[in-house]
Amino acid sequence: MQLWLKRVFLGQAALSAAVSGLLAWGVAPGFGADGVPLVGRVLGFWLLWLFTVPALRARKPEKAEKSAWNVAFLGMPLLNVAAPFVSRDPALIWSADVALMVAVFVWYVVLADSGDGGGGSAKEEVKIRGWLRWLDWGSWK
C-alpha cells in the first residue's frame, strides 16, 4: 500500500474520532442552544466503531497492531450495547470506547514489542475458530 493512501486512512481516523467526540460530548457546532440531540450523541460513540477503527485497520499495519484493531473492532459493539445499562451518558460511553482502543493498542503493540513478558508471541499464535475466522486478519498470513 502506498504511503499517501496510508496517510488518507490516518486522516480519516483522526477526523472521524474528532467528529465523534464532538457529537458524543454534545458540543458539535451548529446545533444551537439546545445542543446535539440524543440520537446525534449516540451516533457519536458509534462513529468510532463505524469509521475510526476500520480506517486504522485499513492501513495494513503490522501484525500486532492489526490484532489490536481487530480486537477493538470486535469488542466495541459489545461495549456500546452493554454500557448503557451502566450509564446513559454518551460522553462516558465514548470515553470507554477510547479507553478500549488505547488499552488494546497498548496490550498488543507496546507490551508485545517490549519483550518483557508481555506475551506477544502467545497472542500471535491464537487460533481463530468459527465465524471469527472470516474477519479480515489479512496481515496474519
pLDDT at 117 over 90: no
Q: What is the pTM of this model?
A: 0.80
pLDDT band at 138 (very low <50, low <70, confident <90, very high): low
pLDDT band at 34 (very low <50, low <70, confident <90, very high): confident
What is the pLDDT averaged over residues 35-57?
95
- Percent of the chain topping pLDDT 70: 79
Q: DSSP string covering 35-98, please?
A: -S-HHHHHHHHHHIIIIIHHHHHTT---HHHHHHHHHHHHHHHHHHHHGGGT---HHHHHHHHH
pLDDT at 108 over 70: yes
